[in-house]
Structure 1
Amino acid sequence: MHAHNAARQGVAVGRGAVDAPGMGRRRRRTGDDWKVLARACTTLLERVPELVDEHLTELHAYEPAYGRIVPYDQHWQEAHEAIRIGIEMISAPRHSPRRDLEHAELMGRRRAEQGMPLELVVHAYRHAGHLVWDALIEGAGPDAAQLAALMQSATTVWSAVDAQADRASEAYRATEAELRRRTDEQLQALLDALLQGQRGPELVARAAAGLDLPELGRYAVVVLRPDRREEREPFHRQVRGEGLRFLWRMRADCEIGVVALDGGTDLDALAELLDGRCPGPGGISPVVTGLTELGRARRLAELALRTCPPGTRQVVRLDRRMAGALIVGQPDLAELLVTDVLGGLLELDPADRAVLLETLDAWLDCEGSAGRAAGRLYCHRNTVFNRLRRLEQLTARSLSRPRDLTEMTLALDAFRLTAPG
């Protein structure tokens, strides 16, 4: 009991709280004090196995996770080495290599790799420090002079323990960050493989487990092409939606999002969330029913993106842009379609041509109503009729014949999507 109480009192002195009883005012440390500490440490080295046994017993009683995370024999050997080196370094010459810090760094890395919580790592170092200090004080016995000499070394002992705990913590955090980076890279590689169309059972199972996604579920892929001229936060950090879970991959020219949709969420909610908020155009794939379909969904989302005319910031759904998707998917045929159907228009002055095509576009958007198209174009309805008749003459097609109308509609889309600029 005397040794235990003396040890705790000694800790208080080491922390700068109070002086040891009977010591009066604290005196300056002398060379003799250092010699006393060195002899005490040499003697204590013989008790290291006993200290390790007590250390592990009390650690496991404090938190059983110590025993679950590190095998006992391994933990015993590591603790034995740490305590032995720590005792040796307490009384080592001032400029000796800090083998205790090297060992603490090694242990910090190892404990992070083993998954031991950092607070338990630090607690182990503090606990070992208390055991060593208690044992040093206990070894002084009733010798007041020896006890006083040891008290002068309290700062040295606890500074060493603090430095060890700090070095272990630094190494732990660095290793934890590296492990997290590696894990992120592995998960990103799995997601990339799915988006590239790989669909092997083992890959899909690993991706589902690592990304916490069901192998079979409702997914869509979004491809966004933000305007890189704008100084802004990446769009994927801004977008949130109820019933939608996003996993994003950054590319040099786009952002690709895998969207997991819950049972009650559809593409309307996704399109509404994205449209008008992305600083640039985007495409949304149809819904697919599993991770194995993400590669196809990505290709369809990219196709939807290509239906966005230059300069637009729309985020469009492929199922609402089927005609445009057919056009951009077959650029050679699109060029032939423009030449064949709009050949006469192409010879006009660009400004004149633009007026006629704008009129056709407005008339189509207004479901063939010349009056509504005129209101949109700020002109008389007869002006709309005159322009449409001129279009029929230049294209040799009639807007009243369904096949001709289909060709002119497709040709208009092809011209808008494939024209330079």
Structure 2
Amino acid sequence: MDGRRARTDHERTVLASASEVLIDRVGRLADLLIRELRSHSPQYDVAVPADEHWQQISEALRYGIEAITAPRSAPRRDLEFAEQLGRRRAEQGLSLDLLLHAYRKAGYLVWDELLDIVSAKDPEALPVLVHTAAQVWAAVDRQAATVADAYRSTQEDMQRRSDERVQALLDALLEGRTSAALVASAAAGLDLPEQGRYAVAVLRAERREGREPFCPSQQQHQFHRVRAAAGLRFFWRMRTDCEVAVVALGPDAGLGELAAELERRCAGPGGLSPVVDGLAELGLARRLAETALLTCAATEPPGGSRIVRLDQRLPTALVVGQPELAARLVAEVFGPLLELDPGDRAVLLETLDAWLGAEGSAGRAATRLYCHRNTVFNRLRRLEQLTSRSLSRPRDLTEMTLALDAFRLSAG
């Protein structure tokens, strides 16, 4: 038993005598306790079957009464049972507050019964019972602590298993599996509608020296749910080479709001899929987001976004989706250019990129490049001569634009 001093023989005799009577009253005490618990909250009946509840309360009372007189070296069956009961109540979904209330109520009930028994049998022994009160209540406190620890541990295990199951369901959807049963299970586990507006973001998991992780709040979690902003719900999954976010879009949220939120939260680069219409299309959305990510060069041009949307990079996505054709396009369009000194070649391509970014304005391109507009014209004419193409002809312009994207991506 717990306590600060050993009991005297007289104290042990008084407690043993009273405990024998208590054991005989366990059935009545269990009935009384259950009535009081039901009066306190109907959840006891909802969570625990009636027969099981009575049986377990009877056992807990019996083990608790035995612990009152047990030698210090005796096995603590009351604590073993408290651990079992804590696990069971967590599995049944009874709240921890109600479980601890039941233990406290049982302690008061047993103590009041002890007082009544000793008062009836030997009133002069009441001071002896008072002297042992601290030890009795210490035993009750330890039982309550044991049941609470077991409850919390079981609850954590259950949450971990639940999260692992939801992770597996989400991974299956992202891999492209679309069975009706899988979609329904994932919807229930994630608390999401099967049909709705969803998008997927894929962020490259680079870890360069001196650079923060993309989403610091997510890095310690393999699976994380978070409401990032009104109308956006994020479900993150970690991979060795990337981070994947499944995003549920509210009725008023669009890709613009999502891209802005990702820009605010993450370092990038990242690719963002178009909106899809249900959980069954998450596999497609993931593939499209990965394609969008592939359009991100190692160094984005000035003013470029860290989070790129596929719907705004479709031509580049076509190029990056066909690497062999992209390499041939670069060779066909920029062949003579590739033979130049790297520095000279970089100047010409940078000028072309700035001119395209300025929507064909040599003046704005010159401002970006910190040079005179005539310098821009001269460089573009030289580029046309080397490639045998004219920037004024739509087909040639398309080829040069796509070739520039392919070259920049292959260089990254």
Corresponding position of 2:160: 181
- Is the contact between residue 47 and residue 93 of structure 2 (CA under 8 Å) also seen in structure 1? yes
2: CA distance between counterparts of 1:87 and 1:403? 93
**Equivalent residue for 1:234?**
215
Check 1:232–1:388 CA distance in 2 against 1; reply closer, same or farther (3 A cut).
Answer: closer
Match of 2:291 among 303, 307, 321: 303
Counterpart contact for 2:227–2:233, Cα < 8 Å = no
Q: 1:50-129 counterparts in 2 under 5 A?
A: 50-129=28-107
Aligned equivalents of 2:26, 2:264: Cα separation in 1? 69
Please point out which of 207, 231, 234 is paired with 2:186.
Answer: 207
Instruction: Note if contact 2:292-2:317 (Cα within 8 Å) is conserved in structure 1.
Output: yes
5+ residue gaps, structure 1, are: 1-26
Question: Partner amino acid for 1:289?
Answer: D
Aligned partners of 1:383, 1:246: CA distance in 2, in Å? 48
CA contact (8 A) 2:215 2:267 kept: no
- 1:341 to 1:65, Cα distance in 2 relative to 1, 3 A: same
Partner residue of 2:270 out of 274, 282, 286: 282
- In the alignment, which residue of structure 2 is the partner of 1:16? none
Give the whole-Å Cα distance in 2 for the aligned partners of 1:322 and 1:105.
60
For the Cα contact (< 8 Å) 2:270–2:308, is it kept in 1? Answer: yes
Aligned to 1:248: 236
Q: How far is the alpha carbon of 1:233 from its aligned partner?
A: 7.8
Work out whether 1:161 is the aligned partner of 2:140.
Answer: yes
Alignment partners' CA distance in 2, 1:198 and 1:241: 29
Tell me what 1:272 maps to: 260
SS in 2 for 1:228: coil
Deviation, 1:239, is: 8.0
TM-score (norm 2): 0.92
Query: Residue 362 of structure 1 aligns to a residue in which SS?
Result: helix
2:214–2:268 CA contact under 8 A, matched in 1: no
Equivalent of residue 398 in structure 1, options 386, 390, 396: 390
Q: Does 1:192 align with 2:171?
A: yes
AA paired with 1:222? A
Amino acid at match of 2:370: Y
Corresponding position of 1:13: none
Distance 1:227 1:277 in 2: 16
Shift of 1:370: 1.9
RMSD: 1.9
The answer as to whether partners of 2:15 and 2:69 remain within 8 angstroms in 1 is yes
Q: 1:240 aligns to what SS in structure 2?
A: strand
- In structure 2, the CA distance between the partners of 1:214 and 1:207, relative to structure 1 (3 Å rule), is same
CA distance in 1, matches of 2:246, 2:229: 13
Structure 1 residue identity aligned to 2:200 = V
Other structure's SS at 1:217 match? strand
Q: Distance in 1 between matches of 2:36 and 2:365?
A: 85
- Structure 1 residue ranges (4+ consecutive) displaced by more than 6 angstroms after TM superposition: none
Counterpart Cα distance in 2 of 1:242 and 1:279: 21
Number of paired residues? 395
Residues 91-144 of structure 1 show CA distances to partners (whole Å, capped at 9, x for unaligned) of: 011111111000000000100000000011111111111111111111113533
SS state of the match for residue 289, structure 1? strand
Q: Are the counterparts in 2 of residues 109 and 172 from structure 1 also a CA contact under 8 Å? A: yes
Secondary structure, in 3 states, of the residue corresponding to 2:280? helix
For residues 379 and 140 of structure 2, what CA distance do their matches in structure 1 show?
Answer: 89
Q: Equivalent residue of 2:367, what SS?
A: helix
Deviations 1:212-260 (A, max 9, x none): 1111111111111254233458346598222211111111222111111
- State yes or no: 1:357 paired with 2:369: no
Aligned counterparts of 1:68 and 1:274: Cα–Cα separation in 2: 44
Which range moved further: 166-175 or 384-393?
384-393
Which has the greater radius of gyration? 1
Q: Which amino acid aligns with 2:280?
A: T
Counterpart residue number, 1:260: 248
Within-5 A mapping of 1:217-232: 217-229=196-208, 230-232=211-213
